[in-house]
Structures are given as structure tokens and as C-alpha cells.
Amino acid sequence: MKRIAIDMDGVMADYDHRMIEEMNQRFNMSLTKKDLLGKHINSLFPELKEEIYQFINTYDFFRYLPVMKDAQETILELSEHYEIMIATAAMEAPGSFAAKYEWLHEHFPFLNSQAFVFCGNKSTVRADYLIDDNLYQLNSFKGEGVLYSAPHNVTIDYPVRMNSWEEVKDLFLSAKPI
Amino acid sequence: MKRIAIDMDGVMADYDHRMIEEMNQRFNMSLTKKDLLGKHINSLFPELKEEIYQFINTYDFFRYLPVMKDAQETILELSEHYEIMIATAAMEAPGSFAAKYEWLHEHFPFLNSQAFVFCGNKSTVRADYLIDDNLYQLNSFKGEGVLYSAPHNVTIDYPVRMNSWEEVKDLFLSAKPI
């Protein structure tokens, strides 16, 4: 059985939704996802970098991220045909560890925590495929990469790009994925 | 450069020392490492299993584990010849996440947290070698395994067994390791 590693933020969890909500509330802004097209939040507001990191690197930020549309049913279905592992770059925000673990148990109770990996660089992850929104991680990974579309990566050219979990399902349940 | 994955508990950190200290204090026992030869603590005291898990799965238990003799200098030296990554099975004790992260930063400040992996089953880890005291993890890992001696594993037969960090150093800095 082939193994698919799946990233959390921006792929399973709607990180940007929470980020925008938090930015608008804290700094009285009116950001939308469109403002993040092709950009990272830190490049938009370099002067707020430290403050943003302070509120991101917390239990509360990561514990209540919304689940991405169709992620639950698709991952459940994929788990019948593939070994599913979760590979999330948690080392940059060690304040997120407990929240990420609880979030996975709450929203994906069918996954086995023995297949959760909280890592840094995803070159350390052993899987056949990696679904990730981060080009740096896809390039580090030794296996087949699948770019999951996110506002920040829209301008990136990558061989396999998925725009929804529906598309991911079609890809991996087709006769010959990638 | 070849990559060595290194387990924490029982390899970098003296888990048993802390466990014995805690058992003796909490339950008024007089255990020594000899009592753990060939055994796991849960098989010695099955009636205390739940209570033991409660005190293990905490920040305090993992934050103050002593460092294994010669681990720091050896890993520093190995890091000049190998990529070092840390692979610790933290998912069984999610209460340990923050403590493990801080412990690594305190005692191994020369390591890059991008190469830390908090995992479950080590089949998810991509490295050339794994140094671990746990046979189950060595068997799951896809690479060359090195068993690090611990009281619980003394009766196990394994092709490559190391009894100290001195031996690990000699093995990996020899002309042709494993």
C-alpha cells in the first residue's frame, strides 16, 4: 500500500481563514483572502512580524482552525486505499504542538496517531506522496509532490496542482495517480 | 552526507533514571536499574499502569531527564560527518511535546530544530541509520538500525548493538560504518 503524507495548515486546516480573522480583529483591518494572493502575511506587514508570530505560536490559534471543505470525507476514503500519514511543520511554532494533536483527534478521529509526524523540514518524512501548500517543503521531500492551492502559492508553477479535495480524490482514486 | 536519526528516550536522555527516581519517590520503592533488566516498567507493575502513564505524560517528567553520558560531545562530533536528525516517539505521550523541544534546545543547542521529528511509528522517518533502544521501532524503520542498550532490551538479539556513546562514535567514525 502506497503512503500519502498530508500537510495540515493550508491543506487540512484553513489557516488563512483564521489568520485573516485574527489580523482583522487585532489590527482593525479588513483583509480578505484576495489580499494574500501570491504573498505571505509577513511580506505584507513586515513591521508586524514579531507580533504576528506571538499570536500564531499559541494553542488558541491552532486549536480552532476550520477544517478544509471535503477534507474529512476524502481522507477517510483515501485511507481505504493508501496509508495516510500527517506531516506538519510544527517546529517553527512549538506552541502549536498540543493544539495540532487535539485538532487531529477531534476532526480526523479515524486516523492513527502513530502516523502523525510533527517535523521541521519534510526531507525527514518517508512517504510516497506529499500533499502540501508549501513549495519549499515539496522540494525538500523525496517522493512525488502534490501542490495544494493556497492564496500564497497561486503564482507558483508546479507539475501537480490540486485546487480542492475533490480534485485530490479524483487524482488518487484514478487508475494511475501521478 | 548520510543521515543518522537518533531517538531521545533511553538514547540521548536517561529516561530510566528518572522513571526509577519517580517510582521510588511516589510509591516508596527501592528500585534500581537492575530491576528493569529485560523488562518494561508496566510488566513489573501492571496494577500501576494508569498511574504511571499519568505522571509520565507530563511536561515535568520529560523536561528534566538527565543527558546520557558522552551523548553531547559524540553527537556534536558526528554532526561534522553526518546529517543528524532527532526522531522521538512523542505521540504516545503528547504531554511531552513542549518539554522534549525545550530539552533538545537546552542540551543540544547545536542541532537545528528543522531536523527534529516528533512521531509515532518510525516507519515514517527517512534517514540512513536509526539509533534506538526500541526493537519495535528499529523493525519499523526502513534503513540500517543500531540498537542502543537499555535495561529493557538486554535479552534481545540484534545485529548491531551499542553499549555506550563511545561505541557509537567508534562505529560511525570508522572507515566503513555498518
- A71: which 3 cell numbers? 477534507
* pLDDT of the residue at A174: 87
Q: What confidence tens digit (pLDDT) does each residue in A70-124 have? A: 999 999 999 999 999 999 999 999 999 999 999 999 999 999 999 999 999 999 9
pLDDT of A60 strictly over 80: yes
3 state SS of A29:
coil
* pLDDT of the residue at A101: 98
pLDDT of A34 strictly over 80: yes
Q: Where are the alpha helices (DSSP H) in A33-144?
A: 41-44, 49-56, 59-63, 71-78, 97-107, 135-140
Chain A: residue nearest B95 by CA? A98
pLDDT of A178 strictly over 90: no
* pLDDT of the residue at A22: 96
Of B99, B117, B105, nearest in space to B3 by CA: B117
3 state SS of A173:
helix
Amino acid occupying residue A167: E
Q: What is the ipTM of this complex?
A: 0.95
* pLDDT of the residue at B174: 87
Compute the distance between CA of residue B62 and CA of residue B46 in angstroms, rounded to an integer. 22
Calculate how close chain A gets to B134, using CA atoms only, in Å: 15
Q: Chain A to chain B, count of Cβ pairs less than 8 Å apart?
A: 77
* pLDDT of the residue at B168: 98
- The answer to whether the Cβ–Cβ distance between B94 and A101 falls below 8 Å is yes
- The answer to whether the Cβ–Cβ distance between B91 and A113 falls below 8 Å is yes
On chain B, the residues whose CB falls within 8 A of the CB of A113 are 91, 120
Higher pLDDT, B134 or A174: B134
- A105: which 3 cell numbers? 483527534
Q: List, as ranges, residues 92-151 from A with C-beta within 8 Å of B.
A: 94, 97-98, 101, 112-121, 123-127, 142
* pLDDT of the residue at A110: 98
Overall residue count recorded for chain B in this entry: 178
Calculate how close chain A gets to B91, using CA atoms only, in Å: 6
HSE at residue A109, side-chain half, CA atoms within 13 A, is 1
Confidence category of residue A5, pLDDT binned at 50, 70, 90: very high
Compare CB distances from A124 to B90, B123, B126 and report the shortest one's residue: B126
- The answer to whether the Cβ–Cβ distance between A118 and B118 falls below 8 Å is yes
* pLDDT of the residue at B63: 98
* pLDDT of the residue at B110: 98
Note down pLDDT in tens along chain B; length 178 residues: 999 999 999 999 999 999 999 999 999 999 999 999 999 999 999 999 999 999 999 999 999 999 999 999 999 999 999 999 999 999 999 999 999 999 999 999 999 999 999 999 999 999 999 999 999 999 999 999 999 999 999 999 999 999 999 999 999 998 776 7
Q: List, as ranges, residues 58-87 from B with C-beta within 8 Å of A.
A: 85, 87
Chain A: residue nearest B128 by CA? A124
Catalytic residues of A: 7, 9
Secondary element (H or E) of residue B107: helix B97-107
Say if B54 is an interface residue toward chain A (CB within 8 Å). Answer: no
On chain A, the residues whose CB falls within 8 A of the CB of B142 are 126
Compare CB distances from B124 to A90, A94, A115 and report the shortest one's residue: A115
- The answer to whether the Cβ–Cβ distance between B142 and A127 falls below 8 Å is no
Secondary element (H or E) of residue B145: strand B144-148
